Structure 1
Amino acid sequence: MSELPLLSATDLPSDAVEVGRIADAWGVKGWFKVVAFSSDPQALMAAPQWFLQPAEKGAKTFAGTVILPVKQIRWHGDGLVATSLDVVSRNHAEALRGARIFVAREHFPKAEDGEYYWVDLLGLTVRNREGVVLGVVKDLLSTGPQTVLVLSQTLEGKTIERMIPFVDAYIDSVDLPGKTIVADWQLDY
């Protein structure tokens, strides 16, 4: 049976974003494998502490939110491994298997002009140039060369889903404070 490391209970910051999960123990000295949800996990690697919540599925070895100070995180092969002063053995690392990792927004690098974090686009209302509502961003898909906005809209009791490529050819503007996106798109596309 895995023994749980001594981690402090805390509240999840209101601006925290889920950025990965702990996959499994790595080695015998308390290191663990990390699965990042981004191909460029700068925020995960820059944050001095992570907020952990139990796995959504499987065994739950702790409840609520705990804080994990990060001692070191580095690339190993094609994945990440990390350690903490609070995780001193393989048993401790195994007890964290599946834990969801959240990072406070203050540790995210500033987005360049015209760049947006996906999490910031979720929930924005998309309108076309004529002001007609096309839907609300409920998801984003990476199709390789481009990202696609997945919109949801309820009309006459039916939910309609639309997909719009998130590229300059179709997106006129993104107004994060105004929670809107203007697109060169029509209802019948």
Structure 2
Amino acid sequence: MSERDSGSSGSVKAASRTKASGQASFGAFVRKPVERTDGNAKEAQANAASADFEAAEMRIETAASWPADAVEVGAIVDAYGLKGWVKVAAHADAGQGGDVLLSAKRWWLLKGQQRKSAPSLQAKTHSDSVVARLGGVVDRDTALALRGSRVYIGRSEFPALEADEFYWVDLIGLDVVNLAGLNLGKVASMIDNGAQSVLRIEYPATDKNGKPVAGERLIPFVGVFVKTVDQAAKQIVVDWEANY
């Protein structure tokens, strides 16, 4: 998994984290169906079919209609086959955040200044990429026209993680303090060095001429260094000294 930008959807593990509060669960319920005449039933079926067709189509979007929690997770790089499927280079592998492309119900596409969204009708892994059939994309030419589109998914559609896992996007921007309470800076981005994920932390500093610059610290995201992650408090506590 390699970091493409600060919105990467990769996930990482730590040895400990602040325990989330429990949420109450609610049972399913059903409503007693209302009796209809044959005419009403046919009209209802027609309306439902029309709604399904509309939901399956691609939509033109604007900055105002773009979801506030959209996270970039990949890019469309090619068409796949002849029936309108697209091929996506994901920013994270399956099992490390890339699963969101397989489970999300709607994809948001940005190409230049053009914004679109489409329901994901079917998606699966293929070699080292993801291939998908999107609503409104019915042939290879339409799929090819989407090449270069950056793919976004609403954060609310990301699959749930285990108790000791975190999506990169949720760590970026958190304050990092050490066990002595010293602020070490903020998480600017994440790096995958092949062995583990690494926090890239920026903090205010000065250069040799006294001009303000951004200093940088790299802390491996492993339990021996990362002690707690408190997303509610927007803080990560680490066993790390300022002069390391």
Letter paired with 2:93: S
Residue 105 (structure 2) aligns with: 48
For residue 111 of structure 1, report the CA deviation from its aligned partner: 1.8
Change (3 A) 1:9 1:85: closer
In structure 2, distance between residues paired with 1:170 and 1:30: 47
The runs of 5 or more residues in structure 1 that have no matched partner are 1-5, 55-59
Question: TM-score, with normalisation over the residues of structure 1?
Answer: 0.88
2:194 is equivalent to residue 144 of structure 1: yes
Q: Does 1:68 align with 2:123?
A: no
Amino acid paired to 1:8: R
Per-residue deviation, 1:37: 0.9
- Report the counterpart of residue 20 of structure 1 in structure 2: 74
CA offsets, 1:57-92, max 9 Å, x none?
Answer: xxx5xx342111111112223322111230111111
Structure 2 stretches lacking a partner, 5+ long: 1-56, 207-211
Contact 2:58 2:135 in 1 (8 A): no
State percent identity of aligned pairs.
41
Partner of 2:58: 7
Larger relative contact order (CA 8 Å, sep ≥ 6): 2
1:39 aligns with 2:107: no
Which residue identity is paired with 1:122? I
Q: Is the 8 A contact 2:174 2:235 kept in 1?
A: yes
Q: Which amino acid aligns with 1:7?
A: M
Q: 2:141 aligns with which of 72, 78, 91?
A: 91
Q: Which structure's CA Rg is the greater one?
A: 2
For 2:152, the aligned partner's letter is: F
TM-score (norm 2): 0.69
**In the aligned structure 2, how far is the partner of 1:81 from the partner of 1:23?**
10
Aligned match of 1:108: 158
- For this pair of structures, how many residues does the alignment match? 177
Q: For 1:163, give the aligned amino acid.
A: L
Moved over 4 A (4+): none
Q: Give the alignment's Cα RMSD to 1 decimal.
A: 1.4
Between Structure 1 and Structure 2, the one with more helix by share is: 2
